[in-house]
Structure formats: C-alpha cells, structure tokens
C-alpha cells in the first residue's frame, strides 16, 4: 500500500507536477489542468487512489513546448491527493487537491511525453506542538484571514493551537516570494518557522 503519512527511508516512484506554487501539508490546492500528460496523470491517480507530487519550479516554465527542456525543481515537495474533480469541457480538468506528506526527491527524469517521475523519500510529519503564547497573535491573524477567504479556500479541519498547522497556513496565504515559501516548507521545526513569519509580519506592521 502507498505510504502517505509518517516517514520512510525507502524510495518510492511517483509522478511529479512542477508548478509555480508551494503546497504545504494540510493545504488546499485547486488546479486547472489542460496539458494531456497531466490530465492522464490525474486520471491514473484517481483510478489507483494514489497522490502525485507537487514541486516548486526553480527554473523554467510550467507549460513546456514541444521539444522544450523540463523545468528544474526544488528537491522538497508535498504529496497532493485529489479530493474533488470536474471536467467542464473536453480537454480541461479541474481538480481540488489536499496536501499530505512532504518528500525529498532523490532522482527525477522526464518521459517522452514530458511527464516527470521522481524517486522520492517521504519525510516524517511534524509532531503536534502546542502554540506558544508569544505566537498567539499569529493565530489571531490567521483566523481573520480564514474568515475573509471563505470556507472553500481554507482547510475544513482547523487547529489554531498547533504550531505546525498555524505556520503552514500562514506561509501559504501570506504574499511571500516563492523561494521564501519554499524555505518555510523545508524548515523542520514549527517554532523556527513561526519565528521567521513573526519577524516578517512585524516588519510589515501587520502584528
């Protein structure tokens, strides 16, 4: 069975979707898919009940032209599981995905179709750490943001007392440069992530 939680040192081969975005564990990522290779990938994942991997593009484009080079990607990504889908018109697939476990790409290669497959190692999920009192203003700001973006764009399950959950959610909704969001994903300590976010928000006069 495909492991989706916890950590494993055994490499697993999965399809990868390079994007100009960073997906965090527990986050919601809607996608509009029109490239045939990724439509086929999504169909296969739905049929098998398996996730695909989302990795930030570090160099290159999301849409690769015929004969174009595969974009370079970050080595830390997040599994994305399709939770809902629709095909409003032929050739365009709308999916809603949920971020699951982070992974590290050990090796990746592109097939003739352009679809990227990676040998990845799953990373252990962060342990639940109670939010320290000093970071309560961050949770309050996050609650305000959640009320404004609406329930369809924010995870249903919420845990404002969990330092990891609050940090991930803030990192994904704040207007941070993509390379900073990626660094937030790669941090393994919830309090370290929150400290960096707190400094940014303080500098911006938001808290």
Q: What is the 3-state secondary structure (H, E, C) of the chain?
A: CCCCCCCCCCCEEEEEEEECCCCCCCCEEEEEECCHHHHHHHHHHHHHCCCEEEEEEEECCCCCCCCCCCCEECCEEEEEEEEEEEEEECCEEEEEEEEEEEEEEEEEEECCCCCEEEEEEECCCCCCCECCHHHHHHHHHHHHHHHHHCHHHCCCCCCCCEHHHHHHHHHHHCCCCHHHHHHHHHCCCHHHHHHHHHHHHHHCCCC
- Structural domain boundaries of the chain? 12-122, 133-203
| Prediction pTM value | 0.89
Domain 133-203 annotated CATH 3.40.47.10:
no
Q: What pLDDT score was predicted for residue 118? A: 94
Among the listed residues 125, 132, 146, the one whose alpha carbon sits nearest the alpha carbon of residue 198: 132
What span, in angstroms and rounded, lies between the C-alpha atoms of 185 and 77? 8
Do the domains 12-122 and 133-203 sit in the same CATH topology, yes or no? no
Q: What average pLDDT does the structure give for the chain?
A: 90
Residues 127-161: pLDDT tens digits?
A: 999 999 999 999 999 999 999 887 777 888 899 99
Domain 12-122 annotated CATH 1.10.3720.10:
no
Q: What pLDDT score was predicted for residue 65? A: 52
What span, in angstroms and rounded, lies between the C-alpha atoms of 125 and 6? 5
Residues 84-133: pLDDT tens digits?
A: 999 888 889 999 999 999 999 999 988 888 899 999 999 999 999 999 99
Q: What pLDDT score was predicted for residue 5? A: 40
Residues 24-69: pLDDT tens digits?
A: 999 999 999 999 999 999 999 999 999 999 999 998 776 655 555 6
Q: What pLDDT score was predicted for residue 1? A: 34
What is the rounded average pLDDT of the residues 67-79?
85
On the question of pLDDT at 2 being above 60, the answer is no
Contact, 168 vs 39, CB < 8 A?
Answer: no
Q: What pLDDT score was predicted for residue 63? A: 61
């Amino acid at each position: 069975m495909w492991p989706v939680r916890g950590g494993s040192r055994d490499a697993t081969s999965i399809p990868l979707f390079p994007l100009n975005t960073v997906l965090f564990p527990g986050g919601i990522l809607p996608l509009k898919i029109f490239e045939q290779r990724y439509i086929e990938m999504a169909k296969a994942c739905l049929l098998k009940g398996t996730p695909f991997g989302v990795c930030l593009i570090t160099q290159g484009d999301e849409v690769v032209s015929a004969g174009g080079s595969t974009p370079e990607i970050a080595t830390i990504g997040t599994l994305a599981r399709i939770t809902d889908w629709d095909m409003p018109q032929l050739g365009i697939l709308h999916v809603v995905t949920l971020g699951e476990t982070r992974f590290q790409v050990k090796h990746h290669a592109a097939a003739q179709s352009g679809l990227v497959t990676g040998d990845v190692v799953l990373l252990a999920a962060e342990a639940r750490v109670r939010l320290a009192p000093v970071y309560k203003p961050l949770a309050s700001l996050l609650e305000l943001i959640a009320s404004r973006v609406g329930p369809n764009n924010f995870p249903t399950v919420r845990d404002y007392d969990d330092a990891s959950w609050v940090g991930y959610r803030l990192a994904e909704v704040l207007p941070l440069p993509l390379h900073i969001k990626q660094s937030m994903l790669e941090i393994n300590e919830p309090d370290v992530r929150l400290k960096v976010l707190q400094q940014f928000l303080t500098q911006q006069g938001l808290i």
